Amino acid sequence: MGTVAAVAGDDALARRLIAAGIWPGVVVELLGAAPFGDPLLFRLHGYRLALRRAEAERVSIVPVEGAP
């Protein structure tokens, strides 16, 4: 679990991530990964979003205290 700090960049991908609900302060939870560790599955705003590792690396987060 973590809280979104920022989305890096200002290209189509960054705008796509923002449209998907990745905004500063939003809590995201890592649910799991596909075979071989990519892509990753997250939960945010109550829905499930699949992101490639490279896409997820654009999003910096602050870990939530006490969460695994």
Partner 1 sequence: MNAIVADDKSVSTRTVALVGRANSGKTSVLMHVTGSRQRPVNFPGTSVERVESEVRCGDVLLRVVDLPGIASLEAASRDEEVALSFLRSTADAGADLLCVVLDAAKLPIELRLLQQIRGLGRPIVVALTKVDVAEREGFPVDVDRLRRAVGLPLVAVNGFDGTGAEDLRTELASTSLRAASSEAVPTMADGVRGRTSRRSRTDRLDAVLLHPIVGPVVLAAVLLSMFQLVFTVAEPFMAWIEDAQGLVGSWVVASVPDGAVQSFLVDGLVNGVGASLVFVPQIALLIAFVTVVEASGYMARAVFLLDRLLRRFGLSGKSFVPLTSSFACAIPGIVASRILSDERDRLATIVVSPLMSCSARLPVYVVLLAAFFPPAQAGLLLFLLYLLGIVAAVVVALVLRRTVLRGGGSMLAMELPVYQRPRLRVVAFAAWFAVRGFLRTAGSVILVATVVVWALGYFPRSADVHERFERERAATPAGAEGDEARRVIDARESAAHLEGSWLATLGRTAQPLFAPAGFDWRMTVGVLAAFPARELVVPTLGTLYSLGDVEASTDDPDPRLGEALRTTPGPDGRPAVNGLVALAVMAFFALCSQCAATLAAIRRETHSWRWPIFTFSYMTALAWSVAVAIYQIGRLLGFAPA
**Encoded tokens for 52:** 């490639």
Query: Smallest distance, Å, CB 63 to partner 1?
Result: 19
Query: Smallest distance, Å, CB 13 to partner 1?
Result: 6
With b for 16 or more beta-carbon neighbours within 10 A and e for fewer, the 32-55 pattern comes to eeeeeeebbebebeeeebebeeeb
- Among 41, 38, 9, smallest CA distance to 28 is for 41
Q: Pick the closer one to partner 1 by CB: 5 or 38.
A: 38
Query: Smallest distance, Å, CB 58 to partner 1?
Result: 10
**Applying CB under 8 A, which residues contact partner 1?**
11-13, 15-21, 26, 31-36, 38-39, 41, 45-52, 55
